[in-house]
Amino acid sequence: MREILLMILVVLSVPLVFKRPLVGMAIYLGANVIRPEMLFWGGGGGAYVFKVYYGLLLVTTFIRGYMAEIRRIFNREFLLMVWLFVAVMVSMAFAQYPIFRGDYYMYELLKGFGICALLYVIARDYDEVRTLQNVLLWCFAFMGVWGIQQQFLGNERLEGLGGSSWGDSNGVAAAFVMFLPVALAKLFTAETRKEYWRAAGIVAIIVALIVCTKSRAGLLGLIAAVASYGYYSRSVRKIAVTFLLMAVVAMPFATKAYMDRMKTMEGEGSLDASARSRLVLWQAGLMVFADNPFFGTGFLTYPEAKMKYESRFMDLDEDFRKWVFRSEAKKVTHNTYIQMMSDCGLFGAIPFVLLISGGISTGIRARRLFYRYPERTAQLKWLCGIAAGITGFAVCIITIDAVLELFLYIQLVFAGILLRLLSKEDIAVSPPDPMPANIGGDDA
């Protein structure tokens, strides 16, 4: 029954997508948050959704003449994505170890960058960017409510929330951290009381969800994201009050288990086995990089590549060392930056770091534009929200492998689009046959 209902909804949406590709983009991005496999209890019944809407977006953007604006992709962040993709391909071509499902992950990265390219020609003005951000916020709010319910039903750290896209609880927390400042931007630009309280509800749900994951990196990322939003948007006083309100929201979810886990960050002596293992994994990753500095050992080969360095950690407790360097279900890097260094060398790590730093720098540039464009305060606050989300995510990925996280690149594209619009370096062209832009929110 669910499959039939989903198919009917897909068929009914096709005319809307042909009339306005923005609708198709909203559905595609939303489906990457509320993934079809979650609606089918982990099955693959709705997997065709991604292929259908990807194909529709390609066809409709061509038919509607949007491809005439393909020159928009020639900018810093997208060219860095191309460099990153080439670096991954080179590392795989000269990989020193077998790569599990390498073709699949290469395809996923290419597909994600393809969506980024389509975003440049579909989201062409502030209202369209805001519309898509609202769609994503409401999808994350839905997933947040679902996740909180799961926590009460026994899924203590929300493992598996988001299907296969976010990985473990740390990945879940990182994804929600990325959109927390965007929710704050929606809150601080609300034009009506109803909009304000809806945005406040989304903020509360996201904060509660991050706490429910019991992720230490999630807590650090949350602090970095909210603090950087206050700095970028020149709203330090508001953010100070927001921090206090967030603490009130978090209190019912900050259980003793949560507090005990957070206390393990107090110092080296308080680190648990999981945290100590990551320090070892990072050291091993740097050893791999030192021996393969230019092109690495091959994308996603770190789990195997690190094994030859076990002998350099003979001073560790034997049981602990064998657990870290176990031969079954080998441990990954648990650090995206070191992952890129060890897997792809400098050739892959440089574009990735430049992408992250570029996303963060948009927030700093937005801060300077508040005085130049006082009439565009709302747009600037949304840009600050996106940049602050990237900042918080940059902190979270110190403990996870997230180079394949689609929404990192999506948000980098949105930040680039908004910055160019605000800087008058890009001219937004009104799409043919305009429709109301507010398909995903209530801010228009």
pLDDT digits (tens, 9 = 90+) for 341-376: 999 999 999 999 999 999 999 999 999 999 888 889
Determine the average pLDDT of the residues in 184-204.
Answer: 96
Higher-scoring residue by pLDDT: 121, 43: 121
pLDDT > 90 in the chain, percent: 71
**Tokens standing for residue 423:** 């800087």
Q: Residue 82: pLDDT above 90?
A: yes
pLDDT of res. 426:
38
Q: By three-state DSSP, how is residue 192 classified?
A: coil
Query: Is residue 286 within 8 Å of 313, Cβ to Cβ?
Result: no
Burial profile 94-107: b = 16 or more Cβ within 10 angstroms, e = fewer: ebeeebeebeebbe
Determine the average pLDDT of the residues in 292-309.
Answer: 97
pLDDT of res. 434:
45
Measured at the alpha carbon of residue 58, what is the angle toward residues 55 and 59, in degrees to the nearest 5? 85
DSSP letters for 106-145:
HHHHHHHHHHHHHHHHH--SHHHHHHHHHHHHHHHHHHHH
pLDDT of res. 432:
46
For residue 93, how many other CB atoms are within 10 A of its CB? 10
Burial profile 370-395: b = 16 or more Cβ within 10 angstroms, e = fewer: beeeeebebbbbbbbbbbbbbbbbbb
* Surface-to-core class of residue 333, CB atoms within 10 Å of its CB (0-12 exposed, 13-18 middle, 19+ buried): buried
Across 68-72, 144-148, 258-262, 398-402, least confident range? 258-262
Q: Does the pTM exceed 0.75? A: yes
Determine the average pLDDT of the residues in 61-69.
Answer: 89
**All structural domains of the chain with their residue ranges:** 1-64
* Surface-to-core class of residue 254, CB atoms within 10 Å of its CB (0-12 exposed, 13-18 middle, 19+ buried): middle
Q: Residue 106: pLDDT above 60?
A: yes
Between CA 293 and CA 276 the distance in angstroms is: 25
pLDDT of res. 429:
40
